[in-house]
Amino acid sequence: MDLTTLTYLLMLVVGFLSVDAAMHPPDAILEAEAIGTFEKTTLTAALVDDVLNQEVQRISATPSVMTRPVIRVGRLQGLAMSVAEALKMQSVAYALQAQLGYRPDQIKLSLFGEAGAAKILVTGTGHQRMASFQQQVTLEPGETIVDLVRRATVIGMAHIDPYITALNEMQTHADDKNFAHAEAIVRFALAALPPTPESFERSLLENLNGLMALFRNDAKAAHEWLERAEASCPDNTLADAVTSVNTAFADLQLDHDAEAVRHMEWLLREKPPADKVLLSTAYMTMAAGQLGVHDVDGADLSIAKAIEAYPEASSAYDLWADIKREKGDEAQAARLHRKALENSVSFENYGEIAALYFRMAWRENQPVMRSPFSNPDLGGLQGAGRNQ
């Protein structure tokens, strides 16, 4: 092949890549490298790549009321990228995407050995702040290589999307209440935000702090964090509705039932959530507050609206059973409780909502109690929030 023909071929490939880069932009570029043998185990880039992909998918599948894109991991799809891979020109394709304005998140894990110890260098770029990051992670005593890769992936995701990563960490440790990693991610993310009076991102993170305080049975601290989250949040956003519902939940926990009712009446009158699960939770919270102030008939009407908004809920049917017991209808209460158990296989609520984790505290001096219902295990198969 003469030089002129080779030049034309390269120009054709680059042009083809430019078109394909525009047609198939990824949301995340994940790369993995592995060198050496550790503990008699031969490590390959494919192994690291598989664990990296699965862990990113697991974190991205965290149920969240915030609209999230499907994170397509791995390599670009398209004929041009296949050509690029064959010619070892993936970096050219990514560079072309950057020139076209596509700047996806990037995580790269490089597994290597140093002084007899396995280590991973985590590098990447988050498109939201466009700040590159680099951190070295060392294998800890008793930790497997796969666990090391998972931990490194969490670190990479914490840089790219600290909110969804902290939310996932909180949900993962809801039973053992070991929120050290989640709190560290929240502190890191809060420190990086500008000190503006209102901040959508800050409100979300403060809301998580409020939920973790509830897990520690500290309703007062939870209420303080949730009030801060409300103050931080711009009006007419999903986060605004989330923090309003959670603040009302904390009101119930502090036996401020009338305040919780007023809070939800205002929300449902002025800014009713468009999301059906969030709308249902708002009506359910108001029903619990009405029970607390002994307005049983009002609670009955409110919980019916909660069920109408989202018939698949479990907690709403369980609260409706409590309402029927208060009205002396034990047979109806038993039927509604069975319905709650039947619905427990369905999606229960979002990770940001206190009602996912705890019972509505409509009785006086009721301690923080875990809900018997939870989200089913998504198995990491879906990378989008429920709004998609």
Q: Rounded to the nearest 5 degrees, what angle is found at the Cα of 377, between the Cα atoms of 375 and 381?
A: 120
Q: Distances in Å between the alpha carbon of 164 and those of 34, 56, 177, 184?
A: 27, 11, 18, 13
Give Cβ neighbours of residue 263 (< 8 Å, ≥ 6 apart): 244, 247, 248, 251
User: Residue 213, by phi and psi: left (phi above 0), alpha (psi -120 to 50) or beta?
Assistant: alpha
Pairing of strands 105-114, 28-34: parallel
Average confidence score pLDDT of the chain:
81
Helix (H) or strand (E) holding 63: none
Identify the sign of the CA torsion 127, 98, 32, 79.
positive
Unique residue bearing structure tokens 């935000």: 193
What's the CA gap between 210 and 7, in Å, rounded? 61
How far the first Cα of the chain sits from its last, in Å, is: 50
The 10s digit of each residue's pLDDT in 129-176 is 547 889 999 999 999 889 999 999 999 999 988 999 999 999 999 999
Domain ranges of the chain: 3-117, 198-356
Burial of 14 (0-12, 13-18, 19+ CB in 10 A): middle
| Fold designation for 198-356 | 1.25.40
User: DSSP assignment, residue 366?
Assistant: P
Note the pLDDT of residue 10.
46
Q: What is the pLDDT along the chain (388 residues), one digit of tens a residue?
A: 555 654 544 454 444 444 443 333 445 567 777 666 565 566 677 888 888 889 988 998 888 887 554 455 444 444 333 444 444 444 444 444 445 444 567 888 988 888 778 899 999 887 555 478 899 999 999 998 899 999 999 999 999 889 999 999 999 999 999 999 999 999 999 999 999 999 999 999 999 999 999 999 999 999 999 999 999 988 877 888 999 999 999 999 999 999 999 999 999 999 999 999 999 999 999 999 999 999 999 999 999 999 999 999 999 999 999 999 999 999 999 999 999 999 998 877 899 999 999 999 999 999 999 999 988 764 433 333 333 3
Global pTM reads 0.80
